[in-house]
């Protein structure tokens, strides 16, 4: 039983909840960078009304990758001199009309387009992928899942292209286990666009079996040719339906997703 006669300060420090909070605050203030000071890379995470994975991405960048990160408000044109921009998952503007259909008109997306046109790195995750397609930064569209059900589970994706800033830390045909959580993840494009994606090696991830086989059974949403992620012709814009930020710490059950962020920081170090 706690001794109520001890000094008030001592009681506060001995309280396990307060102690955990203190450790959390110390961790937030940590400046340790496992990649070294020369690889500091500033990230920006966009916040739309309805975003719900923005803080997850922010946490992964700040606390796991140990890189500078800031939030970018959807009504602002200012990208705050970021080296990379993340368009996070969620339900931007409530997914009204169509996923990403309203978000594409946000002032911040005008700046993201100019940033990408100049070679800036842009990563769209889940709803972010949908927004990038609606904005014309990536081809195709994300439709309702086959079966018309929300799907939320870990899946396997095979790395198809390691010649990008997002995957150069992976092995070609490496199988990663990363969670998905979406209702509209069924990627579709016309035949000409698909042929161009294949020819330019813009398909970065495909849903696969744990052994790396591309099968219908491994496809969780009916996506064309098992496509889970694609990049722009310049390979500086990537859209993917799986959530790498949800697989970046052992406490979350796996760290395969962190390879995406690790690759990005490594790409900056090589510049």
Residue 267 pLDDT grade (very low, low, confident, very high; cuts 50, 70, 90): confident
In the annotation, is 262 catalytic?
no
Q: Tens digit of pLDDT for each residue in 132-175?
A: 999 999 999 999 999 999 999 999 999 999 999 999 999 999 99
**pLDDT for 5:** 44
Mean pLDDT of the chain: 90
**pLDDT for 33:** 55
Q: Tens digit of pLDDT for each residue in 69-95?
A: 999 999 999 999 999 999 999 999 999
Q: What is the arithmetic mean of pLDDT over 108-122?
A: 98
**pLDDT for 271:** 66
Given a cut of 70, is residue 47 above it in pLDDT?
A: yes
Q: Which of 74, 170, 243, 262 is catalytic?
A: 243
Given a cut of 90, is residue 68 above it in pLDDT?
A: yes
In the annotation, is 55 catalytic?
no
Given a cut of 60, is residue 36 above it in pLDDT?
A: no
Q: What is the pTM of this model?
A: 0.86
**pLDDT for 266:** 92
Residue 1 pLDDT grade (very low, low, confident, very high; cuts 50, 70, 90): very low
Q: Which of 160, 184, 245, 262 is catalytic?
A: 245
Given a cut of 90, is residue 2 above it in pLDDT?
A: no
The 3-state secondary structure of the chain reads CCCCCCCHHHHHHHCHHHHHHHHHHHHHCCCCCCCCHHHCCCEEEEECCCECCHHHHHHHHHHHCCCCEEEEECCCCCCCCCCEEEECCECHHHHCCCCCCCHHHCHHHHHHHHHHHCCCEEEEECHHHHHHHHCCCCCCEEECCCCCCCEEEEEEEEECCCCCCCCCCCCCCCEEEEEEEECCCEEECCHHHHHHHHHCCCEEEEEECCCCCCCHHHCCCCCHHHEEEEECCCCCEEEECCCHHHHCEHHHCECCCHHHHHHHHHHHHHC
Where do the domains of the chain lie, and which CATH numbers do they carry? Answer: 42-270 (3.40.50.880)
Lowest mean per-residue pLDDT among 3-17, 41-55, 115-129, 244-258? 3-17
**pLDDT for 120:** 97
Q: Which of 126, 133, 170, 189 is catalytic?
A: 126
In the annotation, is 184 catalytic?
no
Q: Tens digit of pLDDT for each residue in 196-254?
A: 999 999 999 999 999 999 999 999 999 999 999 999 999 999 999 999 999 999 999 99
């Amino acid at each position: 039983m706690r001794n109520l006669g001890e000094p008030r300060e001592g009681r506060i420090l001995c309280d396990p909840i307060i102690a955990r909070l203190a450790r959390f605050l110390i961790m937030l203030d940590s400046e340790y960078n496992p990649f070294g000071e020369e690889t500091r890379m500033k990230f920006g995470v966009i916040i739309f009304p309805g975003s719900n994975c923005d803080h997850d991405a922010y946490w992964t960048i700040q606390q796991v990758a140990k890189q500078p990160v800031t939030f970018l408000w959807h009504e602002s044109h200012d990208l705050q001199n970021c080296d990379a921009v993340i368009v996070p998952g969620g339900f931007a503007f409530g997914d009204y009309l169509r996923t990403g259909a309203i978000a594409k008109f946000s002032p911040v997306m005008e700046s993201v387009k100019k940033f990408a046109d100049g070679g800036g790195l842009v990563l769209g995750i889940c709803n972010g992928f949908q927004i990038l397609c609606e904005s014309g930064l990536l081809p195709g569209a994300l439709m309702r899942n086959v079966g018309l059900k929300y799907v939320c589970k870990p899946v396997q994706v095979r790395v198809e292209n390691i010649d990008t800033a997002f995957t150069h830390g992976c092995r070609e045909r490496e199988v990663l286990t990363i969670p998905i959580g979406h209702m509209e993840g069924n990627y579709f494009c016309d035949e000409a666009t698909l042929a161009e994606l294949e020819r330019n090696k813009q398909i970065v991830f495909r849903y696969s079996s744990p052994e790396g086989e591309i099968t219908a059974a491994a496809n969780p949403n009916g996506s064309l040719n098992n496509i889970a992620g694609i990049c722009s012709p310049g390979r500086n814009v990537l859209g993917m339906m799986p959530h790498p930020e949800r697989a970046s710490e052992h406490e979350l059950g796996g760290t395969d997703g962190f390879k995406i962020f690790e690759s990005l920081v490594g790409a900056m170090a090589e510049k």
